[in-house]
Amino acid sequence: MAAARTEETRLAPNPVVRIGTALLGALALLAGLATMVRSVAIDVTTPVDLSRVSYATSRTCVMCHPGRFETWHRTFHRTMTQRADRGAVLGDFEDARLVFQGVTSRFTREGERHFIETLSPDGVMARHEVVMTVGSRRIQQYVTRIGGRHVRLPLAWNIEERRWIHLNGGFLHPDGSDFNTHRADWDNNCIFCHNVKAQPRYDERADAFDPRVVELGIACEACHGPAEQHVRRNRDPMRRYFLHAGGRDPTILSPREMTPVRQIQLCGHCHGQRLPNPPQRLAEFILVGDPYTAGDDLGTFTAPIGAHTELPGVDLRQRFWRDGTPRLTAYEYQGLLMSKGHAGTELTCISCHEMHGGDPRGMIRPEMRSQRGCLQCHAAIGLDVRAHTHHHPTGPGSDCYACHMPPTTYGLLAIHPSHRITNPDPAHAARTEMPDACTLCHTDRTTLWAANEARRWYGEDAAEAAPKGGGEIAETVRALLGGDVVQRAVAVNAMTQEASYTTDATARLWVVPFLLLTMEDRYPAVRHFAYRGLSRLVRRAQAASGAPPSARLPDFDYLADGPDRAAAIARCWSWWRSLDRGRIAHPGPGVPLDADLMPIRAEVAAMTVRQAQNAIAIGE
């Protein structure tokens, strides 16, 4: 025991030495920490030129951003383009067939491989293996490899209706268009907007493409910029926690921290069709790749297509209403830039749209589809909605979008809200031959009525005087019978959409005869709208009445051959005649229907003559 105590005494260091050693150690540790923190502080405040940074792909993002990754993973952005494996392919490839223009196309599968046999441009049937899919929400298109390029075939799977369609019936082309009108090159077209950092890599000598993309589909780095530096530097926990405590990481972009212009350009890079600027830059796009990186000034590389843009062989004016408002999807960028009062404001795409939350259909939170989306900036209007809208404060007449972003844009067999935010002006719309918000709801009313009401409510400064004429026929009926293909599509949608001037679903059935006439339209897409809208109207009316259907609406295939369609339409007319139409009130003198709710043929014929004069074709 004594020996142990002696040993302990001999071994125990001097307390002063012990304390001094501990202090020195602590100081050294603090000095080391301070040096590391200073190093990190310098690193996070040094700007980074992202255009020189490599891409990392979304697989590396999930490690630190599992929540963001998950919210992106369930979007249709991710599945915009995919390799054609069984998880991606949505179409029926179990020896399905589609007959169109007398051609029978077949869709088959061998294990994990999918094939489409269809008509080639040289007139022979050919079997193609599907290598990629495009789209995953409304319509899925299929890409094959032919020679030295990827080709998008003209057949597609309608996801919502679960059927095969020909793309002549998906875009706005009349009957009789060439079978392969929508057979398109993917490498120098679709690749740019449906993927991250596209590089077609065209070889002029071989006339072939060797395309590369950072990632198929629209993934993280499309909006946040190339992330290789961000991933590498943030492996350091000291750096990460320094940023958690506050501070901005220069190695990655956050769209919410961009200026409004850059935010809009970020989305406009894809949601606004553009041409290389200057035009000679086209070679760079095709030979090398898209030079735009998230955060750049988009105008450095491209110019948005407008109504006055000239492109050889393509009449771009058809994509716009006469006042320059876009009337096709993929022009939302142009629409927003033209919006009244937009310049100089904080309004951007992400004022309403949500990339990491909300409903993937539309990338928007449910509340943003309501008045709340607009009242976040226009709060004063919310204090007395009726005074502003002159409609019931919670009814469809007080839906901000219905008036200021009316459904006048066509895309993918649907009608979408216009992204040019304007004040409704029926007279101006009549002069520029475009739909007006008022008569898109009040489908039984004339332009004259709408223009007079607008001036009465909002004053002569706010709305133009009614044009001469425009007072005889209900505007939506006039557009349906005599307008061009987009006008007719928009009119059908207005007649059959859920929002309406009346809540009486049965009363709305006066539009049925016009829909039946429209089912004879020579544009498949318009026929499709007509029958689909008719089906929805009938379902709503039956549901509202609670009575069993007296007679079932006959089937109609808008892509069937002419004789088959005619027979189906005849059956639909018989169905209409057999209905008890006593409960359906006549909509008024502005609608050319007789007392039996049958179309007044002479008036209808006079309007449809103008329709034939408005024959156009609008592609992608």
Partner 1 sequence: MTARRDMPGSEERLARRHRRFGWTALFAWMCGGLVLELFHGFKLGDYLLDPVRRELWTLAHFHGALLSVVNLVYVRWAEAPGTSAVARGRASWALIAGSVLMPVGFLLGGLQHYEGDPGFGIFLAPLGALALLYPAAVQMRGAWRRRE
Q: Quick one: 127 or 248, whose CB is closer to partner 1? A: 248
User: What is the SS3 assignment for 335-375?
Assistant: HHHHCCCCCCCCCCHHHCECCCCCECCCCECHHHHCHHHHH
Minimum CB distance to partner 1, residue 75 (Å): 18
Residue 197, sorted as left (phi over 0), alpha (psi -120 to 50) or beta, turns out to be left
Q: Quick one: 11 or 379, whose CB is closer to partner 1? A: 11
Give the pair of three-digit tokens for residue 371. 């008045």
Q: Quick one: 68 or 113, whose CB is closer to partner 1? A: 68
Phi, psi of 396 (to 5 degrees): -60, -20
Of 65, 163, 342, 372, which lies in the binding site for partner 1, with binding defined by CB under 8 A? Answer: 65
Q: Segment 358-397, which members bind partner 1 (CB under 8 A)?
A: none
Measured CA to CA in angstroms, residue 481 lies from 114, 259, 411 at distances of 42, 45, 21
Phi, psi of 141 (to 5 degrees): -105, 165
Q: Segment 239-298, which members bind partner 1 (CB under 8 A)?
A: 240-241, 244-245
Of 64, 282, 387, 462, which lies in the binding site for partner 1, with binding defined by CB under 8 A? Answer: 64
Minimum CB distance to partner 1, residue 18 (Å): 11
Minimum CB distance to partner 1, residue 44 (Å): 15
Pairing of strands 113-119, 125-134: antiparallel
User: Would you say 183 and 152 are in contact if contact means Cβ atoms under 8 Å apart?
Assistant: yes
Minimum CB distance to partner 1, residue 281 (Å): 39
Binding region for partner 1 (CB under 8 A) out of 47-55, 58-66, 89-97, 432-440: 58-66
Minimum CB distance to partner 1, residue 16 (Å): 17
Q: Quick one: 244 or 552, whose CB is closer to partner 1? A: 244
Please report how many Cα atoms fall inside a 13 Å half-sphere around the Cα of residue 143, on the Cβ side.
23
Q: Quick one: 11 or 602, whose CB is closer to partner 1? A: 11
Q: Round to the nearest angstrom and report the end-to-end CA distance of the chain.
A: 96
Minimum CB distance to partner 1, residue 66 (Å): 6
Minimum CB distance to partner 1, residue 3 (Å): 10
Minimum CB distance to partner 1, residue 31 (Å): 18
Q: Segment 68-107, which members bind partner 1 (CB under 8 A)?
A: 68
Tokens 């009244």, residue? 340
**Separation of alpha carbons 388 and 451, rounded Å:** 17
Q: Quick one: 64 or 314, whose CB is closer to partner 1? A: 64
Of 75, 203, 179, the closest CA to residue 135 belongs to 75
Handedness of CA 395, 401, 405, 410 (dihedral sign): negative
User: What is the SS3 assignment for 107-173?
Assistant: EEEECCEEEEEEECCCCCEEEEEEEEEECCCCEEEEEEEECCEEEEEEEEEECCCCEEEEHHHCCEC
Q: Quick one: 70 or 207, whose CB is closer to partner 1? A: 70
Binding region for partner 1 (CB under 8 A) out of 8-16, 274-282, 376-384, 565-573: 8-16
**Separation of alpha carbons 499 and 488, rounded Å:** 18
Query: Any contact of residue 63 with partner 1 (CB under 8 A)?
Result: yes
Q: Segment 215-244, which members bind partner 1 (CB under 8 A)?
A: 237, 240-241, 244
From the centroid of its chain, how far is CA 1? 87
Q: What contacts 534, CB < 8 A, 6 or more positions away?
A: 496, 512, 515, 516, 519, 553, 572
Binding region for partner 1 (CB under 8 A) out of 66-74, 142-150, 219-227, 534-542: 66-74
Q: Quick one: 63 or 615, whose CB is closer to partner 1? A: 63
Minimum CB distance to partner 1, residue 350 (Å): 19
Of 2, 10, 12, 94, which lies in the binding site for partner 1, with binding defined by CB under 8 A? Answer: 12
Of 20, 66, 121, 562, which lies in the binding site for partner 1, with binding defined by CB under 8 A? Answer: 66
* Interface positions with partner 1 (CB under 8 A): 8, 11-12, 63-68, 237, 240-241, 244-245
